[in-house]
Amino acid sequence: MGTNPFEDQDGRYLVLVNAASEHALWPGFAEVPAGWRIATGPADRQSALEYVERTWTGLRARRPIHAGEV
């Protein structure tokens, strides 16, 4: 059985952010999914997790901002 790339302690990770400011750890080798952007990385798993803990302080995602909203 192979290693889960989302839990590989030796892997390199990106931190992704979507329009609702949700954060996700993402394997550095994998294509970034549509609707997400790279916030930081690649980095080791612990550093990526620490980045998420420092920057994603809300328990809920923000409502996405739509064009034309004020």
CATH of the domain at 24: 3.90.820.10
Q: Is residue 61 part of a domain?
A: no
pLDDT value at residue 11: 94
pLDDT value at residue 67: 53
Q: Is residue 35 part of a domain?
A: yes
- pLDDT averaged per 10 residues in sequence order, the chain, 70 residues: 82 96 95 97 96 82 52
Q: Is residue 24 part of a domain?
A: yes
Asked if residue 42 has a cis previous peptide bond (ω within 30° of 0), the answer is yes
Q: Is residue 43 part of a domain?
A: yes
pLDDT value at residue 49: 94
Residue 8 makes CB contacts below 8 A (sequence gap 6+) with 27, 45
Contact 42, 28 (CB under 8 A): yes
